[in-house]
Chains A and B, each alone.
Chain A
Amino acid sequence: MNLLRVDSGKWIRVISISGGGGLDIKLRNIGFMPGDYARVIRQAPFGGPVLLEISGRELALGQGIARKIEVEECTPPCDLC
């Protein structure tokens, strides 16, 4: 499922990043890659961005981007819980 469908507070693992335009490279360059664990903190209303916590920092991703990120829900990874 894509990142938009995840409820706030849930842990996720990134499976893949689709879409062209170098989005995967852009995200990779800021340290966001498939295999990473993240927690969905909140989502802005009216189709606003998703706020994630990923290795201790907070990252906001717009809807257009979040839709292209395939994730799975998971239990908190142990070294982070």
Chain B
Amino acid sequence: MRFVLIGQPNCGKSTLFNQVAGYKAETGNFAGTTVTYTGSKVRVLGEVFELIDLPGTYTLSGSNPAERETLKYLFSHSADVIINVVDASHLSQGLGLTLELLELQIPVVVALNMMDEATRMGMVIDGPELENRLGTRVVPLVASRGRGVRNLFITALELGRSGRLPVRPMYGKDIEDAIQAVISKLDGQIANFHPEPLAVKLLERNEHLISLEQGRNPEILPFITSINKKIIRDRGQDASWVLSSERHGLAANLARRVVQQGERHVSWRDRLDDILLNPFWGYVALIVILFTFFQIIYSLGSSLEEPLLRFFDLLNVYLSRILSDYPFLAELVTGTLQGVAGGVAIVLPYLLPFLLGLGFLEDVGYLPRVAFLMDALMHRMGLHGKAIVPFILGYGCNVPAVMSTRMLEERRDRYLASALATLVPCAARLAVVFGLVAFYLGPVVALWIYLFNLFVIAVTGRIISALLPEDTPGLILEMPVYRVPTIKTVFQKAWFRAREFVVEAWPILIIGSIILSILNYYNLARMINLLVLPITWFLGLPYEVGVPLIFGILRKELSLIMLRQALNVTNFSQGLTAIQMITFTVFVVFYIPCLATLAMLKRELGKRDMLTIAGLTVLIAMIAATLARGIAWFIY
């Protein structure tokens, strides 16, 4: 038997799924965390069932990727029971989708989730009355604490066995007549869609279904168009509008009848936004929160990274000594170790604390507030508020930054945000800026490099967005209520995301590192330097800088470590002039993101976009470094 979880974004579907399936779906206090579906086997009362978690969807109209995915799934797979998760604290909104699901001729059980939240808001919900009016089973649920989960699946099982179909809502007479007229033109069902729901979706002009029906029944489109014309004439709006507005009204009416709004307990959560979204204090709080966030990660990370890298260095020295008779093998081992160490030095010290902190901010519900505060600024770069998240993350590590662009709806926004986020100097590039510029030329120069970076990102954003005009008018964002996250979900989520890095990016890091060690063995440093010569010559950098730049693609801080080797100096001021230091640092800050980030870009956007972004960063790095060189020439 197959159960399918359907609900609106941020209603707790994935939380429920994870409660019974172990951690497989990504959750967050942010609308639209799941975009594809996830399946798992669950055991209820000794029987094994399939449980499918579909992406959050407000309706089944198919106007965005998540909705299309949901409708396509229901269309092409048979579902024995739909478990409709509804946020009890926003009943009227959630019931709109419920009414649409009741039309599908599939048994539906309504899970009223977040009952604790509803109670906190002073709502008393008459469950039996709702059951009566919907004509289907309704079960209370607090998925985050696992309350009511067992009862829900027992109910779903009963429904699946009895196969009791719900009764769909009745619409105005003209619409009902139209539905019947379409049914009479249909030749039975298509795939898993019964004639009645099919007729409703055709009337709503669902493109996917219309093109399918056209294939076997070419007259259907003109017929629906003529019916629609009549509806538009009588009602002033087309059928899809009338249907959704009637569902909207029915849902509001239902909610009014079953919800008793009592005294609302005003708590700290209601007061919090008065500060956190305040036109002045909101920004102060934002800076303090982000500063603390990075401070914690940075101090945790650096205190872990040092001993870890020392350990790997010792191991490397030890192994090299053992293998000193086999120089090729020694070189290979060094390369492998460097790749492994790279992963360990990024994941454990920085990425994990980072993901934990991010998961916490996300589950609390703070990220949408950041999006709200930063919307106006982001518009100047052709993006909207939600795109601030990848930028913030970028200062820690570009890998999670690129991952987080998933929350943006439009592909164009995801591309632009990813491209810009890879220009943000991550913690590894911070090491270069601090180790070279701040150390030899003073912290003020380092600060200027950061400001210059922001300027370049803003200009790049403007240029790209002029080339890729915005097709969305702007931000539509649900502001979730603040929630106290559970430690379990925060840890599970961090692990879930870290695993993506381990599986996707780390192997590439190790392979790249081995290849470079082979090049090193065959003494190809000269060739590499020659290869990079056009760039180093153009920027007026020493010829030997080529190798550090290539190694920097592996891990950005390697470019600094290798620079010492390549120039054969212990004090950089002996090998580089102040102008060269600035030029080199600016170039390192912008050019090709590290391999791990490239792997993530490929995963999120595909190979072509990954390559264009990589090429773009080299171009930007050349321009920015030339510009910086000119400015530095004036000063020094």
What is the interface of chain A, defined by CB distance below 8 A to chain B? 19, 21-23, 25-31, 33, 35, 42, 44-49, 51, 55-65, 68, 79
Contact = CB atoms under 8 A, between A and B. Distances in A.
B471 interface: yes
Given A28-B241, A28-B244, A55-B252, A48 B373 contact: yes
Contacts of B67: 29
Given A44-B277, A58-B479, A29 B473 contact: no
8 contacts: A35-B245, A51-B277, A56-B93, A57-B478, A60-B477, A62-B379, A63-B474, A65-B476
B58 interface: yes
Contacts, number: 119
A64 B277 CA distance: 20
5 residue pairs, one from A and one from B, having the closest CB atoms: A62-B474, A62-B475, A58-B479, A64-B474, A64-B473
B377 interface: yes
Interface string B221-242: 0000000000000000000010
A31 B475 contact: no
Interface in B467-519: 471-479, 481
Given A44-B279, A55-B92, A62-B474, A49 B63 contact: no
Given A29-B58, A48-B375, 11 more contacts: A22-B63, A29-B64, A31-B93, A44-B376, A49-B474, A56-B93, A57-B90, A59-B479, A60-B475, A60-B477, A65-B473
B13 interface: no
Contacts of B473: 19, 21, 23, 62, 64-65, 68
A49 B385 contact: yes
Contact of A25 (B61, B256, B373, B478): B61
Contacts of A46: 376-377
B40 to A, nearest CB: 28
B253 to A, nearest CB: 10
B221 to A, nearest CB: 20
A48 B58 CA distance: 25
B474 A45 contact: no
A59 to B, nearest CB: 6
B90 A30 contact: no
A44 B61 contact: no
A51 B241 CA distance: 25
Given A21-B471, A33-B248, A55-B252, A62 B479 contact: no
B546 to A, nearest CB: 45
Contacts of A26: 63-64, 476
B450 interface: no
Given A33-B248, A49-B385, A57-B90, A27 B476 contact: yes
Contact of A56 (B89, B96, B471): B89
Given A55-B90, A55-B93, A79 B256 contact: yes
Interface residues of B, number: 41
A56 to B, nearest CB: 6
Contacts of B476: 26-27, 30, 59-62, 65
Interface of B: 58-59, 61, 63-64, 67, 89-90, 92-93, 96, 121, 241, 244-245, 248, 252, 255-256, 277, 279, 368, 371-373, 375-377, 379, 384-385, 471-479, 481
Contacts of B373: 44, 48
Contacts of B478: 30, 57-60
Contacts of A44: 277, 279, 372-373, 375-376
A58 to B, nearest CB: 4
**Residue from the set B89, B241, B255, B473 with the largest chain A CB neighbour count within 10 Å:** B473
A59 B245 contact: no
B565 to A, nearest CB: 48
Given A31-B248, A44-B373, A48-B373, A60 B471 contact: no
A76 B433 CA distance: 56
A26 B379 CA distance: 20
B63 A29 contact: yes
**Residue from the set A21, A28, A31, A59 with the largest chain B CB neighbour count within 10 Å:** A31
Nearest to A28: B244
Nearest to B277: A42
A25 B255 CA distance: 23
Contact of B245 (A33, A47, A60): A33
A46 B64 CA distance: 30
Contacts of A28: 241, 244-245, 248
A17 to B, nearest CB: 11
Nearest to B372: A60
Contacts of B255: 55
Contacts of A56: 89-90, 92-93, 121
A33 B477 CA distance: 16
Contact of A65 (B61, B96, B252, B475): B475
B477 A59 contact: yes
A78 to B, nearest CB: 11
Contacts of B244: 28-29, 33
Nearest to B479: A58
B385 A45 contact: no
A77 B598 CA distance: 54
B477 A49 contact: yes
A46 B252 CA distance: 35
Contacts of B384: 62
B389 to A, nearest CB: 14
A29 B385 CA distance: 21
Nearest to B121: A56
Contacts of A48: 372-373, 375-376, 385
